[in-house]
Amino acid sequence: MMPTPSILVVALCALILYLCHCIRYNWYSSPLARLPGPPLWSVSRLPFILSLWRGRLVYDVFDMHKKYGDVVRIAPDEVSFASGEAWKDIYCRRPGHQPFLKNPIWWGEMAGRAESIVSVPSWDGHEKHRKMISHCFSDRALNDEESLVQAHVNLLINTLCAKVEESPTMTAMVNMVDWYSFTTFDIIGELCFGDREAFGCLKNSNYHPWIKQIATYFKYGSLMATIRFYPLLANIVHRCIPRHVYDAQEKNYQWAVRKVRERLNSDTPQRDFMSTISPYLKGFGGARDESGISMAELESNFYVLVNAGSSTCTTVLCGATSYLMKSPEAMLTLRKELRARFKNTSEMTFSKLANLPYLNAVIEESLRLAPPVGGALSHVVPPGGDTVCGIWLPGGTQVGVHQWSAFRNPLKFHNADAFKPERWLAEIKTENSPFLSDDRETVSAFSVGSWMCIGKNLAMAELRLIISRMVWRFNIAEGRNKVIWSEQKQYVQMELDNLEVELSMLEE
């Protein structure tokens, strides 16, 4: 029988030989070997994982695109794209092509829960969830929901005005990450659960426990996803994540389940998500065939809607505010447009705000420089392989449009790192405009095709209203800590630093 030390030596040698084989294959023989990319990242997934854990992955991939171009191999089996053409090839159905489905490494649902629109892996399953939930975001639903959103934004503005009036100097130093979070969570809370004080953040000027856990949820969620790259290391990685993170997620989920069931059993006539979607709920006076949505699926989807429908808007609102404060001319131009169009804020409706060119330009530029998701929405090349941007890729290759790199691509945008809302105006289509050659189709922060964010219309309406009301009512100046947007850590979403601003009131 072989001595134990000899067994260990043989095992170690076998491991070394295996790793050498993997490195040689990935560098020389892999179908992706011809694509440009940093050598270490091309032969091992570890540099990718370590960069993600540091919150630097978005910026590291951006640096790669600046060095290697629009197509970069960022892992042995992953390719990143930074061009508008890739949006259609990856995320849209192409005649004669199989769909590129979501990458299960990033989009998997937690064990014991029903699939949601975010996690469902199949094309048919995604279409089923999307069909049901889309009724909540139709034009008709948006009209019904407007008064609800307006009420929460009124409370935000009135509360901030009170803080200014309480100060002897008639100025108030506030952290807008908090106040935007309070507002977006209160809005989505009432839309989902029919309860104006479901979270009660604005009323209490404080976070609901769920919201405090959101940043941790996204941070550890991205770290937990790396377990799927190396399943054998799952136990080690799981032990590195504090138990209270899992407990908090489960507590929030059960709270959402309870609120969903309370809303279903209430007699509230209010128009909200539940009143819109309940006719399609199997076994609840609505759909009774397989085309409907189950109770468990409804609960999972509402949990996702709260998380995704609040923090994403908060990120863009903070980005817009940060860039507007650093661009006084843009702030003044926006305020002039609002003052010229409206006599007072009661005239600011969803439909009227949607027709303001400069306001829309500010939001588009904010989405370009401060997208809710800086990285890629990862999908997988179907079995048999397919092409992206004319490049053939083998089946199973992980692909995506890296938003931070695509949106700041100096080959696509003039003065790409500068906040210039005018690049989105119709007037740029002249020979004298420096922005004439900007590839605006590259910017698709809500994704495209059937994978497009289902809440885009509501999100845009919220962004227009909140930004307009803030700029109309307050002079907004930078506080003590000056946030550099591109230096904040990013995981699944950006980990927002405090955005301190100094508010003083303007004449109504």
Structure tokens at 27: 């560098």
130 close to 450: Cβ distance less than 8 angstroms = yes
CB atoms under 10 Å from CB of 235, counted, come to: 9
467 close to 452: Cβ distance less than 8 angstroms = no
- 30: nearest Cα among 60, 75, 80, 67: 75
Query: Any binding-site annotation on 201?
Result: no
422 close to 435: Cβ distance less than 8 angstroms = yes
Structure tokens at 407: 């949106």
What is each CA distance from 363 to 408, 443, 464, in whole angstroms? 16, 12, 7
- Specify the DSSP element, H or E, that contains 175: strand 172-175
Distance CA 355, CA 37 (A): 43
What is each CA distance from 229 to 176, 213, 222, in whole angstroms? 37, 25, 12
Q: With 0-12 CB in 10 A as exposed, 13-18 as middle and 19+ as buried, what is 160?
A: buried
Helices (H), ranges, 226-354:
234-240, 243-264, 273-277, 295-325, 328-341, 350-353
CB atoms under 10 Å from CB of 72, counted, come to: 25
Distance CA 383, CA 396 (A): 7
What residue numbers does the annotated binding site for heme cover?
A: 453
What residue numbers does the annotated binding site cover?
A: 453
